Amino acid sequence: MECLKRRILREGRLQQGRFLSLDHFLTHRIDIDLMQQIGVEFHRRFGDCQINKILTIESSGISVACLTAVQFGVPVLVAKKSRHPENYPADFFRSKVKSYRHDTVYDILVSKRELTRDDRVLIVDDVLANGGAMSGLIDLVQISGATLVGAGIVIEKTFEPGGKLLRQRGVRVESLAKIAGVDEKGKITFEE
């Protein structure tokens, strides 16, 4: 998506020498028009897959998931992060996620009532880097017995291993912008 690439170039900022901040249009202040365009594009790519649920993880993926779900006319499931999963009842599927950015491990949970073997699931998230969150979401889908249709990613950092690892697992990954690199001055290059 060329409009997405232009926004990344214009408004993306390098933080702490390695993290690309997309706060101004994707994760903190959300550009609804752009999110609608992203939802339309994900529907164009996955519209023939008979999806009946969209799954994301709290919190940055929620806006993308919601506006994508509008295009499909299906509900969004949000996997909750918890450092204390024992506080949740037994009727939740659980998976572990390692956050490389925060150097922590936490559980993610989805209600067994909301994710069933009859579901055809599209996972949607804002950024794919190391793949920890996506792997946890895929595990939830597999544990539930539902069918994973694929993963819709707004921005994939192809210089990180996440996308390659997911594709090696046989997951259909559709990324709208692929960042090949960010140099020490913050110059962003895209993969074609």
Annotated binding site for 5-phospho-alpha-D-ribose 1-diphosphate: 129-133
Bridge partners (DSSP) of residue 92 are: 111
CA neighbor of 79 nearest in space, from 105, 53, 55: 55
CB within 8 Å of 179: residues ≥ 6 apart? 8, 20, 155, 156, 157, 158, 159, 188, 189, 190, 191
The annotation places the binding site at: 20, 27, 129-133, 157
Other C-beta atoms lying within 10 Å of the C-beta of residue 85:
16
The annotation places the binding site for xanthine at: 20, 27, 157
CB within 8 Å of 178: residues ≥ 6 apart? 155, 156, 158, 163, 190, 191
Per the CB < 8 A criterion, the answer to whether 151 and 68 are in contact is no
